[in-house]
Amino acid sequence: MAAKTTRRQIVDAADDLFYSGGFSQTSFADIAAAVKISRGNFYYHFKSKDEILDAVIGKRLDDREKLLASWDQTAESPASRIECFIKIVIVNQAKIMAYGCPVGTLTAELTKLDHASKEKANKIMALFRDWLTRQFEELGCVDFADEHALHVLSWSQGVATLAQTFKDETFVQREVRQIVSWLNDIDQDTL
Amino acid sequence: MAAKTTRRQIVDAADDLFYSGGFSQTSFADIAAAVKISRGNFYYHFKSKDEILDAVIGKRLDDREKLLASWDQTAESPASRIECFIKIVIVNQAKIMAYGCPVGTLTAELTKLDHASKEKANKIMALFRDWLTRQFEELGCVDFADEHALHVLSWSQGVATLAQTFKDETFVQREVRQIVSWLNDIDQDTL
DNA sequence: GTCTATATAGTGATAGAC
DNA sequence: GTCTATCACTATATAGAC
């Protein structure tokens, strides 16, 4: 029980630090300081740093799956569910302006490192893509569902990158208004 | 003269390596191997690694300024100049799919590192923003010029990020078609 | 202007005491 | 399950020979 707790603490701390400082720039010393354990103690819980990364990506996948599932339950229409996704950039505005999108920046970093876990990181993006595709299908645009999904996903990545660069709140809100208006146009067309 | 050549070689090699592998992950040994000089020889040309980064960012700024200036001369209308910008994602498709956008990924990395040169890196993005704003002003939409500029810039960052993740050529081409169509709509509205 | 040799500090990872 | 001590390696950076 205590072991599980420590392992969890390590993964949670690594998750935060990988986000705010990047994977390769985060050292065991950094994580150790956050969890308040010794560096050597890591290796009781994980064989290597890559194994911690793997656990972090797994946790992020779980977290996002749960988030999407909660929208599936709470939001009534597919359009309102897509709107939930769009509004992440507002809900997480402060963190995005500081560190960018956790999914996009990790994917980009692992691809540059040519890291073994890059495909697994891509799965988080694929998770969003598939979920969005399903929403657009339910919305009625069967033939363009995947195209629309990629469009919304691409939009969110662009907004996150520019939000991080210019820290412009009104830009983010304006972009959200525009894409929601685009979404409503699609919704009405398919009625 | 020979000094200038070596310095140039270092900056050029560092530029490529910072793009393909990231700044913090690129070591002096990597650059030394590319330029075929000894590690120690660096410090005759640069005081530190940060100084090399500074030179690389400066070079990238110069390169982009020249690129934009060439479009100012060759392309006749503001709309066709904006189209030149949009089509970078097709012209540089192969590299973008492998390493993402050189501007966006460097900005993101330096922000996470909280690096002293992050503001200077942001200037490249600001250069694009200002240039695009000028084009939209010339195009006639004075009140929305900066909004449109940010929209196009944001679009390009999103497309680059997703191109890197999914390596989908048709996605890139479709997104280009859509944004060009959006641009033409604006162009006609202002006639 | 370029080299070799080296200083110094950090990294991931291991061994073994408790 | 956690610790300290330590290893091997790599990093940036410096000093001084050529």
- Which residue, counting CA atoms, is nearest to the C1' of nucleotide D10? B27
Residues A162, B150: C-beta atoms closer than 8 Å: yes
Gap from A70 CA to chain B (nearest CA, Å): 25
Residues B164, A21: C-beta atoms closer than 8 Å: no
Q: How far apart, in whole angstroms, are the C-alpha atoms of residue B97 and residue A47?
A: 32
Each residue of B163-191: pLDDT tens digit? 999 999 999 999 999 999 999 999 887 76
**CATH classification at residue A138:** 1.10.357.10
Cα–Cα distances in Å, from B15 out to B26, B52, B56, B84, B163? Answer: 10, 9, 6, 23, 21
Would you give the DSSP letter of residue A39? G
pLDDT value of position B4: 73
Q: Which domain holds residue A128?
A: 3-190
Q: How far apart, in whole angstroms, are the C-alpha atoms of residue B123 and residue B74?
A: 24
Does pLDDT of A14 surpass 60?
A: yes
Q: Is B174 on the interface with A (CB under 8 A)?
A: yes
Rounded (5°) CA angle A140-A158-B72: 115
pLDDT value of position A101: 98
Each residue of B74-88: pLDDT tens digit? 999 999 999 999 999
Q: What's the whole-number mean pLDDT along residues A69-94?
A: 98
Residue A136's contacts (CB-CB under 8 Å, 6 or more residues apart) are A78, A82, A144, A145, A146, A148, A149, A186
**What is the SS3 assignment for B68-96?**
HHHHHHHCCCHHHHHHHHHCHHHHCHHHH
pLDDT value of position B188: 86
pLDDT value of position A189: 79
Cα–Cα distances in Å, from B109 out to A24, A32, B2, B33? Answer: 11, 23, 33, 24
Does pLDDT of A47 surpass 60?
A: yes
Could you say which residues 115-144 of protein chain B have a Cβ atom less than 7 A away from any atom in strand C?
none
pTM: 0.97
Cα–Cα distances in Å, from A167 out to A30, A98, B152? Answer: 27, 8, 17
Q: What percent of chain B has pLDDT over 90?
A: 95
Establish whether the CB of B49 is closer than 7 Å to any nucleic acid atom in strand D.
Answer: yes
Each residue of A118-175: pLDDT tens digit? 999 999 999 999 999 999 999 999 999 999 999 999 999 999 999 999 999 999 999 9
Q: How far apart, in whole angstroms, are the C-alpha atoms of residue B27 and residue A124?
A: 30
Each residue of B111-158: pLDDT tens digit? 999 999 999 999 999 999 999 999 999 999 999 999 999 999 999 999
pLDDT value of position A3: 61
Q: With the CA atoms of A57, A61, A63 and A66 taken in that order, what torsion angle do they form, in degrees rounded to the nearest 10?
A: -170
Give me the number of domains chain B comprises.
1
Q: What's the whole-number mean pLDDT along residues A31-58?
A: 97
Residues B112, A20: C-beta atoms closer than 8 Å: yes
Q: How far apart, in whole angstroms, are the C-alpha atoms of residue B128 and residue B120?
A: 14
Dihedral class, residue A46 (left if φ above 0, else alpha if ψ from -120 to 50, else beta): beta
Does pLDDT of A13 surpass 60?
A: yes
pLDDT value of position A68: 98
Q: How confident is the model at residue B31 (pLDDT cuts 50, 70, 90)?
A: very high
Q: Which residue has the higher pLDDT, A174 or A4?
A: A174
pLDDT value of position B2: 54
Q: How far apart, in whole angstroms, are the C-alpha atoms of residue B161 and residue B101?
A: 7
Q: How confident is the model at residue B10 (pLDDT cuts 50, 70, 90)?
A: very high
Q: For the beta carbon of residue A80, count every other beta carbon within 10 angstroms.
A: 14
pLDDT value of position B3: 61
> What b/e string do you get for B138-168 counting C-beta neighbours within 10 Å, with b at 16 or more?
ebebeeebbbbbbbbbbbbbbbbbbbbbbee
pLDDT value of position A190: 75
Q: How far apart, in whole angstroms, are the C-alpha atoms of residue B111 and residue B119?
A: 9
Through-space separation of residue B49 CA and nucleotide D14 C1' in angstroms: 14
Residue B71's contacts (CB-CB under 8 Å, 6 or more residues apart) are B81, B84, B85
Residue B133's contacts (CB-CB under 8 Å, 6 or more residues apart) are B145, B146, B148, B149
pLDDT value of position A188: 86
